[in-house]
Structures are given as structure tokens and as C-alpha cells.
A and B are shown apart, each in its own frame.
Chain A
Amino acid sequence: MSTNNHLDYLDELEAEAIYILREVAGQFEKPALLFSGGKDSITLVRLAEKAFRPGKFPFPLVHIDTGHNFIETIDYRDRMIERLGEKLIIGHVQDSINEGKVVEQKGKNASRNALQTVTLLDTIAKHQFDACIGGARRDEEKARAKERIFSVRDEFGQWDPKRQRPELWNLYNGKIHKGENVRVFPISNWTELDVWNYIRREKIELPSIYFAHERDCITRNGQLMAASPFLNMDEEDVVERRNVRFRTVGDMTCTAAVESYAYQIDDIINEISESKISERGARMDDKVSEAAMEDRKKGGYF
């Protein structure tokens, strides 16, 4: 029976993302999938299974490890790699620090988040990756809203918003010069809610920190941060036991928690549907300035 209906929106987003992943496989010599342990890159992994099984992934997974991860994320990552039977490459920010390429930030709000860029670029150079697949979405913030699905970076990893290639229909131009690479964003057109609905539909397991749990927290700049050895704390910081969950999974020093009693995925979807704060509102590093993301992207950030 031939129908004239459009695909359901999740089916359409999924099909588009699979298409993009296969374009990466077809167009590049040495692609990689940047895996953060967050829900967006976990979604990418599921999409890669849909794109390439029963074959192997035509790329390794790459994790840029700040060393300040939530332990739950690392556990999850290692179990996932075991299940997939795919290759994982880890770039350690600690190595970049030891090699003197970056200097650890000082002070109360010190974070390794910004240092990741150097480790990422080094990892790309070392393995000569020509394409890096990432889980960024255009709805996350204004600079991303204009970024291409195939986003060319120069040999310094820089994104030049004014020199972006026109991207027409579903024709992605992955041609690059030696030393350049392309960041590819298969879920560009997904919103946060789309990702959650997809995770629910596909019954994808997530790291436990996405769900409500009790945790020692402190309040910094009006945001709840997980108390950890990585956070520079002083006597002004009051540690409190709170019921929280995390909406993004990043470095422990810059990922804020939200007070939550959402223990199940349905609760989370309800919470987001009625949410009063956007996802990136819960990231301290984006709050610094309105144009923070644009500046960091120009510098080679994911």
C-alpha cells in the first residue's frame, strides 16, 4: 500500500541523521565520532548502529576526557563500548596539561572545559581525522543556528561564520584541503525534546545522572553544582544534600544540576515540556557572555 503521508517527525529526523552519517562514511578517509557520554552523542551512537549494522562502524569513537568526569559517565562509556565492539580513542586533557600545552585555570570557577579544545585539536592531528561527527544541535543557541551540517574547520580548527559554504538540498560538500577537517552534525535539526522523545521511543539507556538522585551540592552564581574534588571550594561554599539531576553531561566543574524529582524518562519529558530554562542555561560556561559560543567555536570548540 502506497501512502501519501509524510513520515512521522521522529522517523524523518532519524532518516536524515542516518543519511548524514552515511555521507560521512562515503566522503571521508578517516572520520571519527566525538563521544562525550551525553545524551546527544549516545543518540548518535544508536543512529550509527542504524546506519551501518550489520557492518562495523566506519569510524572509531573519540572521547575527550577532561579527567573531571562524572564517574557514572565513564562507567556508561566503557559498558557501551563493550556492547558495541567498536574502537574507542581517548584524548586526555591531563596529557595536554602535562605537556605544558595548556595551563590549568585558577580560582574558584576554574574549569577544564576550555582546555578541551587543545586536546581535541591534538587528537584530531595525531590521528589525522578528516571528519569529526558531533552531537550539536541548532536549537542549542544562536551561533549554532547558523552552522552548516558539514562545517569546515581550517587547520587551526577554527570556524569562520562568514565563510561558510552554501549547503543546498541534501547535498553535503565534504571536499577539503589537507590539514582541514569537517565537523559534521547529524542531529542539527533536532530539538532537546526531540532527542528525549527519541531516547524514549528507542528505549536507549542513559547514564544515571540524567535522572533524579540525591547528591551533595553547592550553590555558585545562582546555580547548583555537584560538590567534587575537582571544584575549588572554600569556607563560603555550603555543601547541601539536594535532589537533583543533570540536563547535560559535561565536565563536573561547569555542569549545573537542576532540582528535580524526575526519576523516569516520562517525568523528564514532562519536566522539559514545561521547562522554564533552556538546556544551555544550565551550563555556566555559556553564561559568560552572550556571544560566548560564537567565540569558542571560532577557536575550534566542538
Chain B
Amino acid sequence: MDILKFITAGSVDDGKSTLIGRLLYDSEAILADQLEALHASNRKNDDGTIDLAILTDGLKAEREQGITIDVAYKYFNTDKRKFIIADAPGHIQYTRNMVTGASNAGLAIILIDARKGVIEQTIRHSFLVSLLGIPQVVVCINKMDMLDYNEEAYNQIVNNYKALAEKVELNNVKFIPVSALKGDNIVHSSINMPWYKGESLLDYLENVDIKVDNSAAHARLPVQWVIRPQTDELHDYRGYAGRVASGSFRVNDPVTVLPSGFTSSIAKIEQLDADPVEASTGMSVTIHLADDIDISRGDLLVNSAEQPQVAQLIEADLCWMDTRPLDSTHTYLVQHNSKVTRCRISEVLYKVNINTLEKQYDEEFKLNDIGRIVIKTADALAFDPYQKNKANGGAIIIDSRTNVTVGALMLRSAVD
């Protein structure tokens, strides 16, 4: 059994919370006391059935306003998979929350209200899913019940969406006609849409292939902590602790330490109860090198065969997340893997109007703005282009005045 993390993009009006509620309810992931609270609630649908959206409502403030402000995480599993849902709000003023939820997702569900078809927010959500590099996308065309489960209407939306997908460079798109309210094609196949021959949403989620790149060439491990017991019996022990961000390391592999450029090879890979010969993507391990070189937190171990770019001037996509606009004269901090260094945004190349995808050149970078910039860092970053290797291409900007995370960076390429 493995884990699939997915994000749901859509707004309250599209029935997003109802869709998640339906997934949880029909897959019997709800415990009895929660069910009891659900039945006891005053909130009901117009036809008197239980309002499943209650299951994903979190904070009091949100219940009062009836909207999802923050990212809420929900957990359920079937016999085949453990699922982690990042339930993010869909309105434009919460773009940063969606970006946050999308950053860890392996799959995105994009919700379209069948009565409305592809609209402005569909463009926005699709753009963000593409920007954040989510590898799999499933478009749920919801509220099919309100269109009498009409096949033609569905096909029309599918065609419109395909044009959009091409424009925002989304591949691997899957379409499913659903009614979250009535339960069609969420967990159980719909009897109302015999013309749809594909699987239900849950079937799809259970079986979709999650690819992992475990190639040696892309092996990257940010050093988090150096284990040095300095006891009599472990006098010379020096282990580099970290989690394999991408690719795979094996004993004897040639490695380079970045940004210093020192080279060595892997002498041993350790875990508490075993010394595996291979450390693949996602594993937390302790690495020992054949040579005694100076390595500390913030350094990156990579396979010498195919190395990341090392640069101080980097072009990147930026999503601004703070109410205080970007100040190009201010020195911020950038955190990339375990490395933190000072930085400045030296140039704003353009912003993107995420509703229309048009470029804009004249305005300042404000909350929820997205665009392309050039960042200058005090120490060099060893990175891979985000669209090629998410695990070594994402970074955050921290405002040293408030210590708040104010920006998300998708690094693209070194600038000469």
C-alpha cells in the first residue's frame, strides 16, 4: 500500500466540499461519532439529505462564513491506497492557499460545474496546477444531475477543457462526469450515465500510477544534520543525515558535495536497524563518505554523473504570499532544501493575470500575484529546474522582519 496526496481545486459553489464529503462517506471512512454529529447538524440539503460538506469544514471562523479559507488535510484509505487530501479554497483571494496545498500534491482534481463549463476560475486552477508541476490531473465535471446527465453537454466541456489544457501545458488529463450531491461516479459507478464507460473517481484514484524517478543520475540528498557522537568507541563516526529528495544512491556511487564541489564516494548507507545498499527517493538515511571532507547542514549531496546548476542569479516563477507587497530593495531570506541564505529580487520580468493568462508588466507584486522574476542570492544555490525536478527546484522566501513565509519560488535556470 502506498500514499497518494491530492488536491481538490474548485470553490464551494462547485460542490467541492460535497465531493470530498461524498468520497469519505461512500468509502465508509467516517467513524460513528463523527457520523452522529453529521446527522445531528442542522445543515441539510434542499431535499433533506445530509449536507456532506460539513465533513470538511474546519475552523469556527470558516463555519461562520461558510467558506474554506485554509488548507485542510483529510485522511482516508481503502484496501489499495492511503489518501491524503489537501482541501484548498478556490477563490482568487486564496490563491496562496491553493499554491500551498498544490506544492505537495501528486494529483489534482479540478472541479467544473457542468452548468457553467470552463470559466475563469477553471483557467486559474489549471494554470496553478501546471505551475506547481502536479503530475496527474483529473477533471470532474460535477452537477451532471442538474443537466439530466446529458452526454453532449459533458462532451462539450471536455473539448473546451482540452483546448485549455494545451494552452497551460497540462498532460495526463482524465475526465469524469459526476454528481457529488447524488453520488454518481464518485465511489460507485453511475447508473444515470450509461454512456460513460470509464471508472469512478475512487477507482481512478486507487489505480492511477504514481511515478517516482529513482534513477541514479538524479540522486539528490540535502544534508540536514551531521551525526557525530564523539564517544570513545565512535570517535571517528561522522554520518550525514538527510532524506533522499530525488533519484537513488547506492554504496560506491560517486558523489559531489555542492556548492563546494568536493567529490567522494558513498562508503555506507545507514538506518537504525539496517544498512541498506540503496537509498531511493523519499528514504531518510545517514550517509558515510569514503573521504573525510567538510560537510555541514545546507550542503547538497548529488550523484556526480548529472549535477544540478549552481548559481547566485536565477530566473524563477514567484507566487507572492504576503499582504505587504514585494520590495525589490529589501533583503529577504531564501530557503532551499536545508540551506538558508540572503537574497534580493533583482528584477521582475512580468506578472501573469492568472484568470486570462495575459502577461502584465507595470504593477507591483502583491498578495497572490504570480510572475517571473530574477533572484540574486548571497550564497549560491544548487538546484534543478522545478519543472524537471520539483524536489530540488522549489524554494521559499522569508521576510526577515516578520519571519513569515512571503513567497514561493519555482526555480527555472541560472542567469549568465
Q: Does B61 contact A (CB under 8 A)?
A: yes
Give the CA-CA distance A261 to B384 in the complex, in Å.
55
Which listed residue, A2, A55, A139, A161, touches B229 by the CB 8 Å rule? A55
Closest A residue to B224 by CB, please name it: A22
Q: Does A53 contact B (CB under 8 A)?
A: yes
Q: Does B165 contact A (CB under 8 A)?
A: no
Q: Does A142 contact B (CB under 8 A)?
A: yes
**Do A22 and B225 form a contact, CB below 8 Å, given A146-B58, A169-B394?**
yes
Q: Does A235 contact B (CB under 8 A)?
A: no
Give the CA-CA distance A22 to B297 in the complex, in Å.
10
Interface string of B92-115 (1 = CB under 8 A from A): 000011011001100000000000
**Do A146 and B73 form a contact, CB below 8 Å, given A3-B214, A52-B227?**
yes
Which listed residue, B100, B297, B403, touches A167 by the CB 8 Å rule? B100
| Contact between chains at B284 and A171 (CB < 8 Å) | no
Interface string of B226-251 (1 = CB under 8 A from A): 01110000100100011100001000
**Do A53 and B72 form a contact, CB below 8 Å, given A22-B225, A146-B58, A165-B404?**
no
Give the CA-CA distance A26 to B46 in the complex, in Å.
53
Chain A: minimal CB distance from B236 (Å): 12
Which listed residue, A9, A23, A189, touches B73 by the CB 8 Å rule? A189
Q: Does A125 contact B (CB under 8 A)?
A: no
| Contact between chains at A23 and B224 (CB < 8 Å) | yes
Q: Does B293 contact A (CB under 8 A)?
A: no
Give the CA-CA distance A167 to B398 in the complex, in Å.
11
Interface string of A134-170 (1 = CB under 8 A from B): 0000110011011000000000000001101111111
Which residue among A7, A15, A138, A171 has the maximum number of chain B CB atoms within 10 Å of its CB? Answer: A171
Q: Taking chain A's interface residues, is the majority helix, strand, or loop, or is none over half, making it mixed?
A: loop
Give the CA-CA distance A173 to B37 in the complex, in Å.
36
**Do A168 and B224 form a contact, CB below 8 Å, given A6-B3, A173-B396, A278-B31?**
no
Give the CA-CA distance A5 to B32 in the complex, in Å.
35
| Contact between chains at B338 and A26 (CB < 8 Å) | yes
Give the CA-CA distance A6 to B96 in the complex, in Å.
28
Contacts of A164 in B (CB 8 A): 70
| Contact between chains at B280 and A3 (CB < 8 Å) | yes
**Do A142 and B59 form a contact, CB below 8 Å, given A6-B3, A54-B237, A166-B97?**
yes
Chain B: minimal CB distance from A32 (Å): 17
Chain B: minimal CB distance from A147 (Å): 9
Contacts of A2 in B (CB 8 A): 214-216, 248, 278, 280
Which listed residue, B74, B284, B396, touches A19 by the CB 8 Å rule? B284
Contacts of B99 in A (CB 8 A): 166, 168
Q: Does B362 contact A (CB under 8 A)?
A: no
Contacts of A53 in B (CB 8 A): 227, 272
Within 8 A of A (CB), among B270-319: 271-272, 278, 280-284, 297
Give the CA-CA distance A221 to B227 in the complex, in Å.
51
Closest A residue to B243 by CB, please name it: A19
| Contact between chains at A15 and B243 (CB < 8 Å) | yes
**Do A8 and B100 form a contact, CB below 8 Å, given A2-B278, A165-B404?**
no
**Do A56 and B229 form a contact, CB below 8 Å, given A176-B403, A291-B60?**
yes
| Contact between chains at B32 and A276 (CB < 8 Å) | yes
| Contact between chains at B58 and A277 (CB < 8 Å) | no
Tally chain B residues at the interface, Cβ within 8 Å.
73
Chain B: minimal CB distance from A236 (Å): 26
Give the CA-CA distance A258 to B387 in the complex, in Å.
51
Contacts of B52 in A (CB 8 A): none
Within 8 A of A (CB), among B61-85: 61, 69-75, 77, 82, 84
| Contact between chains at A277 and B224 (CB < 8 Å) | no
Give the CA-CA distance A49 to B61 in the complex, in Å.
39
Q: Does A281 contact B (CB under 8 A)?
A: yes
| Contact between chains at A161 and B61 (CB < 8 Å) | yes
Give the CA-CA distance A9 to B81 in the complex, in Å.
8
Which listed residue, B57, B69, B224, B403, touches A173 by the CB 8 Å rule? B403
Q: Does B269 contact A (CB under 8 A)?
A: no
| Contact between chains at A175 and B398 (CB < 8 Å) | yes
Interface string of A267-302 (1 = CB under 8 A from B): 000000001111001000000001100100000000
Interface string of A15-35 (1 = CB under 8 A from B): 110110011011000000000
| Contact between chains at A22 and B229 (CB < 8 Å) | no
Within 8 A of A (CB), among B28-43: 31-34, 37
| Contact between chains at B396 and A12 (CB < 8 Å) | no
Q: Does B211 contact A (CB under 8 A)?
A: yes
| Contact between chains at A177 and B403 (CB < 8 Å) | yes
Q: Does A130 contact B (CB under 8 A)?
A: no
Chain B: minimal CB distance from A166 (Å): 5
Chain A: minimal CB distance from B172 (Å): 16
Contacts of A275 in B (CB 8 A): 31-32
Contacts of A5 in B (CB 8 A): 2, 212
Contacts of B336 in A (CB 8 A): 171
**Do A294 and B396 form a contact, CB below 8 Å, given A54-B227, A169-B103?**
no
Which listed residue, B3, B71, B216, touches A146 by the CB 8 Å rule? B71
| Contact between chains at A277 and B32 (CB < 8 Å) | yes
Q: Does B408 contact A (CB under 8 A)?
A: yes
Q: Does B321 contact A (CB under 8 A)?
A: yes
Which residue among B73, B212, B280, B337 has the maximum number of chain A CB atoms within 10 Å of its CB? Answer: B73
Q: Does A244 contact B (CB under 8 A)?
A: no
Q: Does B210 contact A (CB under 8 A)?
A: yes
Chain A: minimal CB distance from B160 (Å): 31
Give the CA-CA distance A58 to B405 in the complex, in Å.
26
Nearest first, the 9 A-B pairs at minimum CB distance are A18-B284, A6-B2, A276-B32, A175-B403, A281-B33, A22-B224, A168-B103, A15-B284, A278-B31
**Given A11-B283, A139-B75, A294-B60, 13 other A-B contacts at CB below 8 A?**
A5-B2, A9-B3, A16-B243, A18-B284, A22-B284, A52-B227, A145-B74, A146-B73, A168-B99, A168-B405, A276-B33, A277-B33, A278-B33
17 A/B residue pairs, CB under 8 Å, sorted by A: A3-B280, A22-B225, A23-B224, A50-B284, A51-B241, A55-B227, A142-B57, A143-B59, A146-B71, A164-B70, A168-B405, A169-B396, A171-B335, A175-B400, A275-B32, A277-B32, A277-B33
